[in-house]
Amino acid sequence: MVGLIRHTLNHALGWAAVAVLIITLLGQLPVQTPFDIGRTDAAVVQGFGEPETGDPSSDGMVRRVLSTAALRIPHVGAPATLTIRWMAPAGTPVLITVNDEAPIQLLARGGWEEHSFTITSGWQKAFDIAVSITTPTPTERVWLDQVTLTANPPLWPYPAQLGYAALIGALIGSLLARRPRWQTLIAIGGYGLLWLVLYRMSSYPLLYLPAITVVALGAIWFIWRWPQLATYWPQAATPLLAVGVAVGWMIWLIPAMQAHVTLARPGVENDFRVFATRDTVATIFQADGFYNLGYPLLLWLVRPLTFDNPFLAGRLIALISGGLLIGGAYLLARCFLAPAPALLVTVFLAWSGMVVQYGLLVGSDMPFAAAFTFAVALTLHAGRSSAGWMAVLAGVLAGFAFLIRHPGLLLLVWGGATLWYLNGRRAAFLFVLGFGLAAAPQLVVNTAQTGQPLFNQQAKNIWLAVYANTDWQRWDEVPNSISLLEVVGRDPIRFFTNWSRNIVGFLGAGAEDVSEFGRADQLRLLGWPTNWLAIGGLVVGGWLAWHKRTDRHWLALLALIGLYVAAISVAFILPRFWLPLVPLYAVAAAWALTHLLNRPRSLLAAGLGLIVLLWPGPQMAVSAVLTAQPPDETGAVALVQQTITTSGARVVAAIPDRLPLAKYSAIAHLITERVPLTVTFAELQALHADYVLWDNAQGEPPLPTPNQRRIGDGRFTLYRVR
């Protein structure tokens, strides 16, 4: 291994210096690049309006400057000059900010005008220079017509571009170490020309060209050197890599979690109100026919760490549960795969839009899926182990899943039968014992308060799906106590039709579904093409296990999927209901890939290629969650967080009770008290309120001179009370 490293470094450092020299020299060439706004500007504009036809004095097409508008300028060297042609109503102030420097203020004259300014900053930027254009008067319109970037030698190259060049030179030198030196020089020079033409001088600059080149060459080097690396790679380090994927995923998701500041609507977070209101020991340990006590108990335990704010506790639980899901999936994959291929499962999950989405959304979905995954993994491991503690622990985790959601009861049936099949009666008994120990709080509460250990009222949800077409306005037409036998007995044909339709909706509807948009929920569990790999893996793995008797674990896995799908489909189905199946499908996808490509290099190359294909999924999932938040509420959260910077400030909220802003949001712990909209000024003074968070849709607050006390704009604003 030491020899490999020394050999690599000897060929890398010199060529890294050559690449840096080439980029430095090419970076001295003069540049004058015009960007025709509205036509050939897609690579440099961000946050602008759509192209529009300008007035006769423009060059034809223009863009309106929006509140988030910015120009992304490539690193051409410093100093550079940027010239913009813009127009705004006379007297409109316009601020030009380069990176995070002090803004340059311009005052519009009413017609098209040009201004130039020098760029000498951005040394810490990785890809480009950000030039933002804003106006303190957002009601006024600012238009941009033309941008020209000019740079003349001598120029200082940007560190990021030299760093990319050094890495590219080192990688090319390592890859071509056994080739003639002139070939290496041509390859590095070829990158330099691409950088010059496509990044530095192009009117459509490829801003990520250097970074993508580094990643591509690094992947090629990694694949090329894989046999040598695998020889020296300690097997014990692979689980640490799986942990690294899970931890890295959580770290990557933290900014999105912090941007998730209020309940996303409409959506799965509507149920969160039910959990958050069970905030005392008495309400937690209370029999509820629809929601078990596990998730309210989790919230109650975590709330002291989050300023007693249930929303912040729910965010943290979802994020950590997502990381645990990825780690548990690796443990599950080791029942079917060697350590290195099992690592693919963690990657498939980390890049799954569904996993990312429910790692952000508050609710019981992700905690239940994490407990479900660990229970399945340990059950299958216990099936090939004589250690009784493993069967007990598997049962405990299955019982914990039941504490969170009623479908966890399926694990009792499946786990007991699986361990009996794989490892005999003793293992099955120990599993059931562990389940009973973990589920005891729910069973005791149900028995003491209702006389039924497995008390639930889920039959009403089935009635809603079968007879009310999932119309929640008809929820009160039948009592909560309606039984499953009564639901089925009213119209068995209708019940079984709904059931079969839901099963088909999961597997994938065919031509019998004449609606414009059919359903195939199992294809949404993983990103394309891993979703199809998973289906192929399940079919082939199950067929081999049944006909060839190769691995009985496949039969257990398929039985669990079938049992879960059949049980969930009796009512109505939502994509989030299938989250516990995502790790199972990821294992099948990785298994299929390893059997299609059994050579290590091919498998590694395919894994890296799949990462590229799956890359958009997580970003789209984050966007879906954050854009589902009402903009008025996110603006109010930002306003309160920016205004209330000291502890002790008393903020009173006069918000309609149906809205979650004052109760289930990132600022709920900053709200001292909630008051009705009929509150008076005297009552606010009696509460010693410093601020009142007011819903302006209800009119003006009961304050003297409210406009002078107002802070912020929008539907929800703060008002100073004293």
Q: In which residue are the tokens 């120029």 written?
A: 155
| pLDDT value at residue 334 | 93
Between 233-237, 239-243, 302-306, the lowest mean confidence (pLDDT) is in 233-237
Q: Classify the phi-psi angles of 99: left when phi > 0, otherwise alpha if psi is within -120 to 50, otherwise beta.
A: left
pLDDT digits (tens, 9 = 90+) for 386-397: 888 999 999 999
pLDDT tens, residue by residue, 255-271:
999 999 999 887 778 88
Rg value, the chain, Cα = 30
Report pLDDT for 508.
Answer: 87
Per residue in 441-485, pLDDT tens?
A: 999 999 999 999 999 999 999 999 999 888 888 998 999 899 999
pLDDT of residue 298: 96
Give residue-wise pLDDT tens across range 125-139.
888 888 888 777 665
Across the strands, what pairs with 62?
Answer: 52
Q: Could you count the other beta carbons within 10 Å of the beta carbon of residue 277?
A: 13
Residue where the block lists tokens 């998973």 = 534
Query: Taking 80 as the threshold, does the pLDDT of residue 646 lie above it?
Result: no
The whole-number pLDDT of residue 41 equals 80
Summarised one tens digit per residue, pLDDT across range 611-640 is 888 888 999 999 999 999 998 999 899 999
In this prediction, residues 694-722 reach a mean pLDDT of: 89
What number of CA atoms fall less than 13 Å from residue 330's CA on the CB side?
21
pLDDT of res. 6: 64
Question: Bigger pLDDT: 49 or 433?
Answer: 433
Q: What is the predicted pLDDT for the residue at 450?
A: 94
Segment 215-227 shows an average pLDDT of: 80
pLDDT (mean) for 637-644: 89
Whether omega before 575 lies within 30 degrees of 0, making that bond cis, reads no
CA angle at 626 for the pair 620 and 630, rounded to the nearest 5°: 140
Amino acid in position 475: W
Q: Hey, what amino acid is at 416?
A: G
- What pLDDT score was predicted for residue 231? 66
- Amino acid at position 659, single letter: L
Reply yes or no on whether the pLDDT at 679 is more than 60.
Answer: yes
Q: Looking at the predicted structure, is the pLDDT value of residue 160 above 60?
A: yes
What φ, ψ does residue 70 adopt, rounded to 5°?
A: -155, 150
Q: What is the chain's length? A: 722
pLDDT at position 178: 80
**Distance from C-alpha of 87 to C-alpha of 405, rounded to nearest angstrom:** 59
Give the pLDDT confidence of 169-195 residue by residue, as tens digits. Answer: 988 888 887 888 888 889 989 999 999
| Digit-coded pLDDT (tens) for 68-88 | 788 888 998 889 988 888 888
Rounded Cα–Cα distance for residues 328 and 337 (Å): 14
The pLDDT assigned to 113 comes to 87
pLDDT at residue 135, as a whole number: 76
Phi–psi pair at 119, nearest 5 degrees: -105, 115
- Nearest CA-CA partner of 362 in 234, 490, 489, 257: 257
Supply the pLDDT for residue 259.
93
- Reading the block at residue 367, the tokens are 């905690």
User: What pLDDT score was predicted for residue 85?
Assistant: 86
Residue 51: what pLDDT? 81
| Least-confidence region, from 35-44, 348-357, 414-423, 462-471 | 35-44
Is residue 368 within 8 Å of 408, Cβ to Cβ? yes
CA–CA distance, 417 with 425 (Å, rounded to integer): 9
**Could you give the CA distance from residue 613 to residue 634 in angstroms, rounded to a whole number?**
32
DSSP 565-600: HHHHTTS---GGGGGGGHHHHHHHHHHHHHHH--SH
Query: Would you state the pLDDT for residue 236?
Result: 67
pLDDT above 90 for 222: no
pLDDT of residue 446: 95
Residue 1 in this model has a pLDDT that exceeds 60? no
CA atoms of 722 and 713, how far apart (whole Å): 20
Contact (Cβ atoms closer than 8 angstroms) between residue 348 and residue 589: yes
Give me 561's structure tokens.
Answer: 């999927």
- What pLDDT does 115 receive? 87
Give the pLDDT confidence score for residue 400 in this predicted structure: 97
> DSSP readout, 238-272?
HHHHHHHHHHHHHHHHHHHHHH--B--SSSGGGGH
Would you say residue 522 has pLDDT above 90? yes
Q: What is the pLDDT of residue 519?
A: 82
DSSP string, 358-375: HHHS-SSHHHHHHHHHHH
Q: Strands 52-53, 80-87: parallel, antiparallel or unpaired by DSSP?
A: unpaired
Q: How far is CA 572 from the centre of its chain?
A: 25
Q: Give the pLDDT score at 48.
A: 82
Q: How far apart are CA 585 and CA 593, in angstroms?
A: 12
Q: What is the pLDDT of residues 86-97, one digit of tens each?
A: 888 888 888 888
**pLDDT, mean of residues 707-711:** 88
Would the pLDDT of 380 be above 80? yes
pLDDT band at 311 (very low <50, low <70, confident <90, very high): very high
Q: 233: pLDDT confidence band, cut at 50, 70 and 90?
A: low
Q: What is the pLDDT of residues 403-442, one digit of tens each?
A: 999 999 999 999 999 999 888 899 999 999 999 999 999 9
Nearest to 58 by CA among 112, 114, 115: 112
Q: What is the pLDDT of residue 235?
A: 66
Closest-CA residue to 418 (of 386, 378, 373, 368) = 378
pLDDT at 4: 54
Question: At 367, which amino acid appears?
Answer: P
What pLDDT shows up at residue 261?
94
Task: Tell me the whole-structure pTM to 2 decimals.
Answer: 0.83
Q: What is the mean pLDDT of the chain?
A: 88
